[in-house]
Amino acid sequence: MPISRLTVLFLLVSTLILGSCSSGYQRLLKSTDVNKKYEAAVKYYDKGDFFRAGTLLEDLIPLLKGRPEAEKAQFYFANTNYKQRNYVLSAFYFKSFTDTYPNSEYAEEASFLHAKSLFLDSPGYELDQTNTISALESIQDFLNRYADSKFKAETENMSQELQKKLENKAFESARLYYQLRYNQAAVVALTNFQLQYPASAFAEQAAFLRLTAQYAWAQESIESKQRERFLESVNFYQQFIDAYPKSKNLKAAQDMYDVSQAEIVKLKAVPTAASN
C-alpha cells in the first residue's frame, strides 16, 4: 500500500522536531550557563521527563552549592531516581537530603520516600532480609518523627507488609530444618517462631510441626534420653490440642501422643547422659 504524501510529511516533521529537541538537550548538557541549565532541568522535571531532568541536575548540584536553588535541586534529583525505579540510589539521595536539610519544606516527604525506596527494594522472603530490616527501621524512624504525617497510613501499611515478609521468612527457615529432618534444630526454630509470632497465620502449622519434630527426635535419641523427650512430646501435644481443638491434624497428633505415652511407661528413668 503506497504511503500518502501527508504521512511522509508528518514523519518528516516529527523527525525534525525530535532532532531539534535532542540537539537542544545535548547543547544543555554541554552548557556552562548554570541558570539556564537549572531552569531547563525544572521544566523537564515538571513535564515528567525524569531521565533528562536527573542528568542535568546531577551536573548542576556541585555548581549550586551555597545557592538557594541547591535544596530543591537535590530533592528533585533524588526524586528523579525514585521515579525511574532506581531505589537504591533514591534511598541514598533522600537520606543525604534529609541529613543536609533537616528543616526543609521537603524534609518530611524526603524521609517518607527514603523509607519507601527501601521498602520497594526489599527482596522476596526467600532471600536475605537485611534490606527489609533496614526498611522497617527507616519506617519506624519516620513514624516517630512525623506522628501526624499525611503519609502515616501508607507507611504503616508498608510496615505491616514487611513484617509479614519477615514472619514468612522465619517460618520457612524453621520448616526447612523439619524438612531436612534436623529435628532438634527444628524444635528450637519452631519454638522461637511461636514465641516471636504468636498470632501468625502459620501458628497452627508451626505447633504441629514442632510436635512432629519433637516426637521424631525422641524416637531417634539414645535410650537414656528418650523418656524425657517423649515427655516433651506429650507436653507439646497438650499445648497443641488446647490451642487448636478442631485442627485437621488431631488424629496424627493423637497417634503421636499415644505412642509417646506407651514409650514413657516402658522406658525406665536413667541418669542423664550426653545428648545424642
Predicted model pTM: 0.81
Per-residue pLDDT of 216-255, as tens digits, reads 999 999 999 999 999 999 999 999 999 999 999 999 999 9
CB half-sphere exposure, 88, CA atoms < 13 A: 2
Asked whether the CA dihedral 202, 208, 214, 220 is positive or negative, the reply is: negative
Per-residue pLDDT of 144-158, as tens digits, reads 999 999 999 999 999
Instruction: Give CA separation, 54 vs 122, 175, 196, in Å.
Output: 24, 46, 44
User: What whole-number distance in Å separates Cα of residue 225 and Cα of residue 247?
Assistant: 30
Mean pLDDT over each residue of the chain, to the nearest integer: 91
Question: What is the grid cell recorded at 29?
Answer: 548538557
| Maximal C-alpha separation, the chain | 102
Per-residue pLDDT of 75-121, as tens digits, reads 999 999 999 999 999 999 999 999 999 999 999 999 999 999 999 99
How many helices and strands (H and E) does the chain possess? 12, 0
Q: Which long-range contacts (CB under 8 A, 24 or more apart) does 63-71 make?
A: 63/34, 64/34, 64/38, 69/38, 71/101, 71/104, 71/106
C-alpha torsion angle, residues 247, 253, 257, 258 (rounded to 10): 100
